A and B are shown apart, each in its own frame.
Chain A
């Protein structure tokens, strides 16, 4: 009888501990790459809008980082701002406001870069997101997806994008794309294949009104 009672107590405690145990992570991790190379620098105001939109959508304990795509993007130095939001709503609002201010400074002051190292930026994004290990991982690439590496930079590395959603935003057409649209389509196909082969999912959103479904 006593053993049965002990077993019942143990089961109750186990249930309580199970109920209080941390559940699967439900937070989101978003890493946004902003292309600052050449003529695409002119689009950076749109990037500012997207960042503010993302900030409005993210919630407590979510992680968010904004990094630039420049000549060599596989570097922590290219991260413009990063944050993991506090659990308390008031602190989170303050963090969002501070983040928005720092991003605004980046939008206004960042110089145009000579080259475009998208792959390096993506590698850096994967590293950041894996370190934070959120429940949902998203990489936003605000670029025309035209990679242009300086001589000697090696980027033929296989990505590991398991469980990561990669969203290309505002993929503008280059002048050459207008002459030969196949180049544009080939560029999109190439990135789609690289992402999906690496285990990630790929989407392109050119109409910024359709951002609601992204985050």
Chain B
């Protein structure tokens, strides 16, 4: 720098000289520099535009892929729902309508009994003898009509008839009582028929309700298969909801696992030592963590074997016999691990008491180690937690499956958002490059204001002279 300022005896003069030379150089290179700046601007504009197009295409591809993933997931979910509904219908049909023949027979028997009873209960009034009217007419003849002997005979006949009539009426009443008894006996049959028909009606209503549900799901399934936008939109929002809910439940499960860990990490030192390290972590801690992870894995396998989750298609596709074996195996391992945890939780309490006793002894305060009579409550509670938590962790499989499935969609949506923002930034950059080039050109001209002014002045003067020359022939 000092060299530059020492080309003349006066530094200011040297600086002015350099400045003049620099301005002259910039002025003479002005046209070339302007072309270069504009060329760079245009090139950058094209580069950014190309980048924007590429990113937009990538975003479109990702959107399409995300859409396909969503549709596939939705299709699978709907298939499962419809399958489940059919299973339920099948169960209803098997359970209720399988006994339809028995039901039918019961109904038929009831109806037959009612018919028979009804037939027996038909009210048949006793037929009056045909000659009763004649006898009554004869009996009505006055004995004073001096029909000797007839009146007496007829009176006797009349009395006999009245007697027979009373007997017939008595028999008729007895028969009516019997009929009423039969009709009374028919009432339970009617009720039974009513109940049976109600039950059948309920089953049919249930089937109708399920068929309506299946219709709705099938409509949604068709929309998904057709790839309609509103189906994708619904699936996308559902996926986000599932993601956050499953993340929340997984967070709760992690809390449970942490509690479980703290229950067994300390007594684990009794088995693997309290000071050995693996990769900077205590072996006891790693062992406790491994037990919890094995429990979670067993829970996953159990859920898979029960076909509640479908994270491992291999397990779901196993033959039923093998699957049942797997259920019992995983459950047994879980039960054993839970028992081990309960034992470790008990050991934890024992160790804690031992440490407290030792600390009190070392403090010279042995009297302070009085055992609390309610201490067994915490011990039992710890053991209970140690036993229950492994089984509770089984259910982590359900939110985990939902989380994994929805994570794909959520990651896809995030990536789409990033790509969209990037494309917008590139597009804006491409649009602004031309203006930037113009601004840089103007900035280039800024230090050249004196020669430019002079040049413009000379140019104006030349133009004026030319106009004058043309005006004066």
Interface: A148 (CB within 8 A):
no
Q: How far is the CA of A89 from the CA of B268 in the complex (A)?
A: 10
Q: Do A88 and B274 touch (CB < 8 A)?
A: yes
Interface: A77 (CB within 8 A):
no
Interfacial chain A residues near B230, Cβ < 8 Å: none
Distance in Å: Cβ of B275 to nearest Cβ of chain A: 5
Q: Do A56 and B362 touch (CB < 8 A)?
A: yes
Interface: A112 (CB within 8 A):
no
Interface: A23 (CB within 8 A):
yes
Closest partner residue, chain A, to B352 (CB atom)? A89
Interface residues contributed by chain A, number (CB under 8 Å): 22
Q: Do A88 and B364 touch (CB < 8 A)?
A: no
Q: How far is the CA of A19 from the CA of B269 in the complex (A)?
A: 19
Stretch from B119-127, B353-361, B407-415, B442-450 contacting the other chain? B353-361
Closest partner residue, chain B, to A92 (CB atom)? B274
Q: How far is the CA of A78 from the CA of B279 in the complex (A)?
A: 40
Q: Do B358 and A96 touch (CB < 8 A)?
A: yes
Interfacial chain A residues near B363, Cβ < 8 Å: 52, 56
Q: How far is the CA of A53 from the CA of B279 in the complex (A)?
A: 32
Interfacial chain A residues near B361, Cβ < 8 Å: 97, 100
Interface: A60 (CB within 8 A):
yes
Q: Do B362 and A19 touch (CB < 8 A)?
A: no
Q: Do B273 and A87 touch (CB < 8 A)?
A: yes
Q: Do B273 and A96 touch (CB < 8 A)?
A: no
Interface: A55 (CB within 8 A):
yes
Interfacial chain A residues near B364, Cβ < 8 Å: 49, 52
Distance in Å: Cβ of B377 to nearest Cβ of chain A: 23
Q: Do B362 and A53 touch (CB < 8 A)?
A: yes
Interface: B270 (CB within 8 A):
yes
The A-contacting residues of B in range 204-247, CB under 8 angstroms, are none
Write out, one digit per residue, whether chain B residues 339-363 have a CB within 8 A of any chain A CB (1) or not (0).
Answer: 0000000000011001101110111
Question: Pick the contact of A88 from B270, B350, B355, B357 — CB < 8 Å?
Answer: B270
Write out, one digit per residue, whether chain A residues 44-56 have a CB within 8 A of any chain B CB (1) or not (0).
Answer: 0000010011011
Q: Do B274 and A89 touch (CB < 8 A)?
A: yes
Q: Do A87 and B358 touch (CB < 8 A)?
A: no
Interface residues of A (CB under 8 A from B): 19-20, 23, 26-27, 49, 52-53, 55-56, 59-61, 87-90, 92-93, 96-97, 100
Q: Do A55 and B270 touch (CB < 8 A)?
A: no
Interface: B277 (CB within 8 A):
yes
Closest partner residue, chain A, to B273 (CB atom)? A87
Q: Do B278 and A20 touch (CB < 8 A)?
A: yes
Q: Do B362 and A96 touch (CB < 8 A)?
A: yes
Interfacial chain B residues near A56, Cβ < 8 Å: 359, 362-363
Distance in Å: Cβ of B114 to nearest Cβ of chain A: 82
Distance in Å: Cβ of B10 to nearest Cβ of chain A: 66
Interface: B194 (CB within 8 A):
no
Interfacial chain B residues near A90, Cβ < 8 Å: 270, 350-351, 354
Interface: B143 (CB within 8 A):
no
Q: Do B351 and A52 touch (CB < 8 A)?
A: no
Interface: B378 (CB within 8 A):
no
Take A19-B279, A20-B278, A89-B351 as given contacts and tell me if A100 and B273 are in contact as well, using a CB distance cutoff of 8 Å.
no
Residue from B269, B277, B362 whose CB has the most chain A CB atoms within 10 Å: B362
Interface SS of chain B = helix
The A-contacting residues of B in range 272-294, CB under 8 angstroms, are 273-280
Interfacial chain B residues near A26, Cβ < 8 Å: 275, 277
Distance in Å: Cβ of A164 to nearest Cβ of chain B: 22
Known: A19-B279, A88-B273, A89-B354; 4 extra A-B contacts, CB below 8 A, are A20-B279, A60-B275, A87-B269, A97-B358
Interface SS of chain A = helix
Q: How far is the CA of A52 from the CA of B350 in the complex (A)?
A: 22
Question: Pick the contact of B280 from A23, A53, A87 — CB < 8 Å?
Answer: A23
Interfacial chain A residues near B355, Cβ < 8 Å: 89, 93
Distance in Å: Cβ of A178 to nearest Cβ of chain B: 31
Q: Do B278 and A19 touch (CB < 8 A)?
A: yes
Interfacial chain A residues near B280, Cβ < 8 Å: 23
Write out, one digit per residue, whether chain B residues 353-384 have a CB within 8 A of any chain A CB (1) or not (0).
Answer: 01101110111100000000000000000000
Interfacial chain B residues near A97, Cβ < 8 Å: 358, 361
Interfacial chain B residues near A59, Cβ < 8 Å: 274-275
Distance in Å: Cβ of B460 to nearest Cβ of chain A: 76
Residue from A26, A27, A52 whose CB has the most chain B CB atoms within 10 Å: A52
Distance in Å: Cβ of A41 to nearest Cβ of chain B: 20
- A-B interface, 3 closest residue pairs, ranked by CB to CB distance from nearest: A87-B273, A19-B279, A93-B358
The A-contacting residues of B in range 414-449, CB under 8 angstroms, are none
Interfacial chain A residues near B357, Cβ < 8 Å: 93
Q: Do B276 and A87 touch (CB < 8 A)?
A: yes
Q: Do B362 and A55 touch (CB < 8 A)?
A: yes
Q: How far is the CA of A56 from the CA of B357 in the complex (A)?
A: 11
Distance in Å: Cβ of A106 to nearest Cβ of chain B: 15
Q: How far is the CA of A179 from the CA of B50 in the complex (A)?
A: 94
Closest partner residue, chain B, to A49 (CB atom)? B364
Q: How far is the CA of A26 from the CA of B281 in the complex (A)?
A: 13
Distance in Å: Cβ of B263 to nearest Cβ of chain A: 15
Residue from A53, A56, A89, A100 whose CB has the most chain B CB atoms within 10 Å: A89
Q: How far is the CA of A41 from the CA of B64 in the complex (A)?
A: 89
Distance in Å: Cβ of B215 to nearest Cβ of chain A: 55
Q: Identify 13 residue pairs between A and B in the complex whose beta-carbon atoms are under 8 Å apart, listed by A's number.
A: A19-B278, A23-B280, A52-B362, A52-B364, A53-B362, A56-B362, A59-B275, A87-B273, A87-B274, A89-B274, A89-B354, A96-B362, A100-B362
Distance in Å: Cβ of B289 to nearest Cβ of chain A: 15
Interfacial chain B residues near A100, Cβ < 8 Å: 361-362
Q: How far is the CA of A89 from the CA of B274 in the complex (A)?
A: 7
Interfacial chain A residues near B273, Cβ < 8 Å: 60, 87-88
Interfacial chain A residues near B274, Cβ < 8 Å: 59-60, 87-89, 92
Closest partner residue, chain B, to A101 (CB atom)? B361
Closest partner residue, chain A, to B359 (CB atom)? A56
Question: Pick the contact of B277 from A23, A52, A96 — CB < 8 Å?
Answer: A23
Take A89-B269, A89-B355, A90-B351 as given contacts and tell me if A61 and B362 are in contact as well, using a CB distance cutoff of 8 Å.
no
Question: Pick the contact of A27 from B269, B275, B350, B362 — CB < 8 Å?
Answer: B275
Closest partner residue, chain A, to B353 (CB atom)? A93
